[in-house]
Structure 1
Amino acid sequence: MIILFFDLTSMQPDEMDRAAKAAENYVSKQMQPADLVSVVSLGSELLVNQDFTSDHDLLQKTLHAFNTGAGQGFEEGAAGATEGTPDTGQAFTPDDTEYNIFNTDRRLEALRSIGEQLSRVDQKKSLIYFSSGMNRTGVENQSELRAAVNAAVRANLSIYTLDIRGLQAMVPGGEAQSASLRGTSAYSGRATLNQYNANFSNQETLVTLAGDTGGRAFLDSNDFSKIFRGVQEDTSTYYVLGYHSSNPARDGRYRHIAVQINRPGLKLEYRRGYYAPADFQHATRDDRERQLEEELSSELPSTDLPVYLSTGYFRLSDNKFFVPLSVVVPGSAIPFTRNGEQDKATLDVIGVVLDESKQAVSRVRDTVKLALNTSAEVQRKNVQYDAGLLLPPGKYHLKLVVRENQSGQMGSFETDLVIPDMKTTPLKMSSVVLASQIQPSNRKGDNPLVRDGSELIPNVTHVFSSGQHLYFYYEVYDPARDTNSNSTAGNGPAGKAAGNGPSPNTQATNSKAPGNKAAIHVLTNVAFFHGKTKAYETPLVEAKEINVPNRHASVFQLDVPLTELKPGFYTCQINVIDDASGHFLFPRLALLVRQ
């Protein structure tokens, strides 16, 4: 497998011509039937011009398409000194050192990216890097150089560098196409020395890239076919040696390899070392964050850590909805460590919401710290994390990843999220939230589940005990006004209570607003079905006014005791009737009641 990598940011038009022609000659004259060749270029962006193929025609077409007149404008800038530079008549010579650092980092990042993408292919791979040199500025580019080399070594990728400038002659007084040199350097020999130093600096990075990855550097030669022969010779026949390391440490450190033979006079070329695998405890902070991002973008979900998630939606304005997220992890799946008098654990949570065009529109990132006097109680319960998002109406895909930071196990949960556009909906209603807990809260914000200093904690699993309370929370928006609002709950067929159990408590307003000649008239209750049999139905609740004016919402929070329900599976039907407009909705939810 051979990658032809053209660094268009460093080559002049004539050098681009030479590089393309050298590659075309290889494809037409030297390419073997077993060779798989890919063409990659770096201009304004990193592009895969041609994926791996053995089709000569496709490769020739791709190489011939390089536009030599479209220079990318990333050549080396001046360093600010005027001595020994061409006198172009400019008032001053700009210092482009910072731009040079950026350009070099950009090229090294491209090499690192290629290495990371090829790491999934186990066999030996070769990359031929066409460029006009790569200049480093002190130690500024050292970290990117090491990252590029490390990525290539991990991917078993050898880099073969080619200085496409070929054999160069250093003219003491400067080239004829350049202006006369400033200062005395042309007469003291300093100008020629500076040219050699600059050329060496450009080629030194190419030699480093090749030597540290098991490749070779081809410099100062106009015979560009040598590099292709060298790659074919190195990959046509080679030995694969395997062994088990006696060092069991998974610390991610670099380990050197030495290979010796008992035949004198032979030169060995082999990989000089490798990076040991790193477990979660030896991973750096950046490595851990990158692990979360990679899992978030992975097509295959992690299931080592069980994760459950529920969502909903509540209207804040016509084009703004609050989406509560509730994430549950079983306490038995979280390892706690004893620290002082407390058991502690941490969970990392990361999530992303994608729209229909696969663009990220919202993200969640948080670290949950758990500190308990004893973890025995948590082992029998669940750990719940609640968050919220603000989204417009639309269809979305939500993926959330949770990692516990003791062993590094991860779990993920994906779901589609549909937020309806309520502008054309006859009866505008939020999602229904089931809960079994209400706790004090000082939170301030847009969360509708936080009201009057209390927060409703959603029940993600919809599993309840018979001794608990069952809370239903939902909202009706913009209900129609009833010009004849003299009816009361319990009058007529719609207001008759069904079932023999105790009446549920409700926070919906049941009295008519004084002085309001056109009150609303919304009726609601909940029916419980066990199979095809109606097991219980709550009395009817009536709302005659909007009790959240800033959102034009009538809020219903029903407290249904579960003592009247036998253990088992139930389907709950929430009946909502806008009596003034004649519209109705009957959403259904499933729940389990345990003893």
Structure 2
Amino acid sequence: MLRVLSFSLFVASVVGAQSVPTLRTGTQLVVVDVVVTDKNGAPVHGLKETDFALRDEGAEQKVLNFQEHPASASQRMPELPKMPPGTFTNYVPLRQDVPLNIVLLDLLNTPLLDQGYARQQLEKYVMTLQPGTPISIFALTSRLMMLQGFSSNPEILRGAIASRKTMSPPLLLKPQSQTDDESDSKQDVDSTHPLVQAEVRANLDEIATNQKDFQVQARTQLTLDAINQLSRYLSGFPGRKNLIWFTGSFPVNIFPQGDISTSFSNMPSMAEEYRDTVNLLATSQIAVYPIDSRGLFSNPIADATGRHFAMGPERVAEEQAFSEQTATEQTAMRVLASSTGGKAYVNKNDLTAAVTDAIQSGSSYYTLTYAPTDKKQEGRFHRIKVNVQGGGYRLAYREGYYAAAGKLHTVAIDSHAFSAEKAGNTVMQRSMLRGAPEATQIYFTTSFTVPGGKESLSPVLAKGSISTSAAKGPYRLYKAVFTADPNSITALPDGADKVNVGIEFVALVYDANGVLQSWAGKTLRGALAKAKYAEMVKAGVQYGLDVSVPAKGDFYIRTGVHDLASDRVGALEVPASLIVAKTGTAHP
């Protein structure tokens, strides 16, 4: 909350005097939101700090900050201070006394027939929305898309839900252990010579298994990327966030059920991203409320109208595989919910009631903040344990976090980094793609000005600006000046006399289809003597990039700031037409 308040003042200062921020270092803090209910599920109010006992890996911790957050009466959301012409920010003013609610329509992991029902139930809920309840809506396909930013207007939210059509998930296998074509192939094998029958059947099984493993791994990667992007978008907003996730299956359990070396044995290349996901959910104060979009359902192969209704040995095996898969998916939903302090809703047809209960459950909570007594940054998972004096209480809170060592992360800038087809998988590259949610881990402003104060079209790019083969001149040239929140930049100690600082600034120009036209970037990094660092702190940090925008057509400028020490990112996307209007120029 303090960081948000400070940036609110920072925005005001930028508006008034264009003041320059400073860099600061910070102590690792762990924030734990705890929902306390009685045996009837009603929230418990009035508990004191002394009523709570908090342990990290079994060691008792001292609570540095304690707050109770009761459900608040509805109020209007605050407004952003008026910005100077040509100045934009990724800062979104929101009330700090109410949790935020985020709805994710997971079309990637939900069967086609269940998507329409989930949308219908969600539309039904928003029409009964209590005033002052902020909700944003996202959709997950092969990428994460924001359908609507935070709003409490039922008509606006309903329109956002209706705007996203259903789609057939290309990576979602049938719930049976095999498809109909595979079954027919095996039946054909039954008529072949006995000597080749076993080998052919084994080959078919191997092909089916490899296909399933590939599709599950692809869905897992896309799902993890979406959680991470959403977490970075929500990071800068104050307080608790309730992620209400409509999904038909969960491809992965991101929380370790044992040693990390065995938890990620099937997908070792994703181990680091698993850890990042757990920590992003923790630091962003996100509690997950999965809702099974399938409701109360049974195995479709048991339908008497199907062409394989006969329950022979193959169908018995499929029935067992279906039951095991369903149980695994629903267990993953429950684990994710309980591990983040949320609640899972499975085998329920009234999805509207599930949304209502999720929002009510996450509206009253306590926040405990502590600095772990174990300062080792060895990458191990730390389990958190919270107890409350008195009997009969039910507690919901996040299970733990990874104590990851600080390091300077990879710089994203290269000639193909931000093409949707060729982009790498770094945090900055994913955050800077056209239309991606605007990350708020680093709040910043970008001020656009026309060099010389008067626009003139240029046949060539601005100095330091690089074009792609898709770009065509002439160009409008702008100076983009970044001003970042001082609380978001980290300096890593380097011996007794130095600190390491790394900051990346990027400006990208896309067309309406997400095709990169031009880009500019600069990375400031290195070891600084403490005296030099003190001068930097005193002088502040700003940086300007020259941006080149094609004069003809609709284009979007996406700017970003990347703190290499913490891997935190801030991103902002602005239509170039709005920048033109703000700076007093006009299209020819």
Q: TM-score, normalised by structure 2?
A: 0.49
- Which has the bigger relative contact order, CA under 8 A and spacing at least 6? 2
Q: TM-score, normalised by structure 1?
A: 0.48
Greater fraction of residues in helix: 2
